[in-house]
Amino acid sequence: MALLFTLLCGLSLSILGYFGYFFERGHFIHGAEEVIDTEIRHLTPSSSLNKLPLVDTIVQHQVMGRLFVPFGPNGEIPALLSGKVERLKEGVILFEHPISRRTYAAKIHTFEDQHKLLVGIDITETKREFRLMQWLTIISITLIIIVVLVSYMISVFVASGTNKIATTAQKIMDTGDLSKRLAISSHWDDFGKMTNTLNLMLDRIEVLMGGLHQMADNIAHDLRTPLTRLRNHIEAANKGADTVEGQALLDEADRLLNTFNALLRISRIETEKKREHFQALDFRTLIEDVIALYEPLAEIKHISIQQRLLNLTCFGDKDLLFQAYANIIDNAIKYTPEHGRVSIRMHSEDEWSVVVIEDTGGGVPTPDLDKIFQRFYRADVSRSTSGTGLGLSLVKVVFDLHNASLVLERSSKGLRFITRIITKI
């Protein structure tokens, strides 16, 4: 828009400059020359300077702004032209009358008898109007240039303010740190007012989210203890009997405890955002350890795990990354039918270490892809299997903490997880 605005103003400047200088100058010169030529045409019937109605030996004769000055008998230049003489155009001169200080435009006419006569017209007023037009044009051009410069500065100010707000908002979204605030550079403009309003909104959101997280933590903490006691009582009551109902109660208690533990773990990662355990890791070894943990489960379901691993490194928390990839691979094996396949491939992209995990579990409907990382969300196809709906939520939180990329795609037979983690800090 700034470039388009500059081009349009530049075009306007060109048109204005042409009108103010070339057009007006051409009109000014052409008009003066036309009047002089008219006067000369009136002289044409006289074939000699001697036949002109000049008063005895007066050197010049001025009538109604017209000036007729004969040259000397031998072609001597009139004393009138002894001062400064300018060339207005080819054949037309411009000079100032030494006595009246009036400005004249003139031509030299030669008669048949070779006598010469200077024919001029008074253009003082016309010249003054022309100069006024030139100054008005210059002022107009200057004002347009000022408008362009001021518009450019305003556009820079607006773009800079907008980019600062967008950058801070992006950092808040990337890090989840609601304590960040927009820098207020001024208080007199609309940006200052908007920035202050956004900061107040962030204050409100931070308080609400903090209360929500605190409430979730309190509920999880308060319920985890009685659930643990309840599980212990069920286990004690089930000793010796070992009934199906008793085992089902134990499994349900374990599931509830796992749910609360996962909630607390997610909340702790989100709120603390600690990175003191981040270090350079052998990425291949980490993935191999996760695969080794889940190979027995894959063998039970006769699922083949295809590996193509490389000696890559990454930077992060070893325990959290192990848990995240364990959740992904566990999810892949859980939803892949017997005699299916899970492939794990590694490669590098610039400063990223990339791991692609793909299964043949049938996949997830496209509308559910954007929701699968939400807490407790489970697609319809997975509701018949055990789970809390928190595994992939934990994965998302861990990857956000590492500023890593996590992309979920539908493949030809199942799901494809594409993860990118920074190679080194």
Question: Which CATH number characterizes residue 285's domain?
Answer: 3.30.565.10
- Within this chain, do residues 52 and 121 fall inside the same structural domain, yes or no? yes
Residues in the chain: 425
Query: Which tens digit of pLDDT belongs to each residue from 360-371?
Result: 887 777 766 777
DSSP-derived secondary structure letter, 154: H
How many other C-beta atoms can be found within 10 angstroms of the C-beta atom of residue 392?
22
Rounded Cα distance between 392 and 417, Å, is 11
- Within this chain, do residues 196 and 113 fall inside the same structural domain, yes or no? no
- Give the pTM: 0.50
Reduced to 3 states, what is the DSSP secondary structure of residue 331?
helix
Reduced to 3 states, what is the DSSP secondary structure of residue 104?
strand
160 found inside a domain: no
What are the strands, taking DSSP E only, across 53-178?
A: 61-63, 66-70, 85-89, 92-96, 103-110, 116-122
Residue of 72 and 418 predicted with greater confidence: 418
149 found inside a domain: no
How many other C-beta atoms can be found within 10 angstroms of the C-beta atom of residue 222?
11
199 found inside a domain: yes
Query: Which tens digit of pLDDT belongs to each residue from 139-151?
Result: 888 888 888 888 8
Query: Which tens digit of pLDDT belongs to each residue from 165-218?
Result: 888 888 877 766 777 887 777 777 777 788 888 888 888 888 877 776 676 666
Is the pLDDT assigned to residue 95 strictly greater than 70? Answer: yes
- Within this chain, do residues 352 and 245 fall inside the same structural domain, yes or no? no
Residue of 196 and 425 predicted with greater confidence: 196
How many other C-beta atoms can be found within 10 angstroms of the C-beta atom of residue 204?
10
Range of the structural domain that residue 238 is part of: 190-272
Q: So what's the pLDDT on residue 262? A: 66
Q: How confident is the model at residue 356 (pLDDT cuts 50, 70, 90)?
A: very high
Q: Total structural domains in the chain?
A: 3
Nearest to 307 by CA among 299, 315, 297, 295: 295
| Winning range, highest mean pLDDT, from 169-183, 247-261, 282-296, 396-410 | 282-296
Q: Summarize the confidence of residues 391-415 as an average pLDDT.
A: 83
- Within this chain, do residues 288 and 418 fall inside the same structural domain, yes or no? yes
143 found inside a domain: no
Please say which residue of 230, 257, 272 terminates a domain. Answer: 272
CATH number of the domain that residue 246 is part of: 1.10.287.130
145 found inside a domain: no
Is the pLDDT assigned to residue 321 strictly greater than 80? Answer: yes
- Within this chain, do residues 265 and 303 fall inside the same structural domain, yes or no? no
Please say which residue of 113, 130, 147 terminates a domain. Answer: 130
48 found inside a domain: yes
How many other C-beta atoms can be found within 10 angstroms of the C-beta atom of residue 57?
5
- Within this chain, do residues 251 and 291 fall inside the same structural domain, yes or no? no
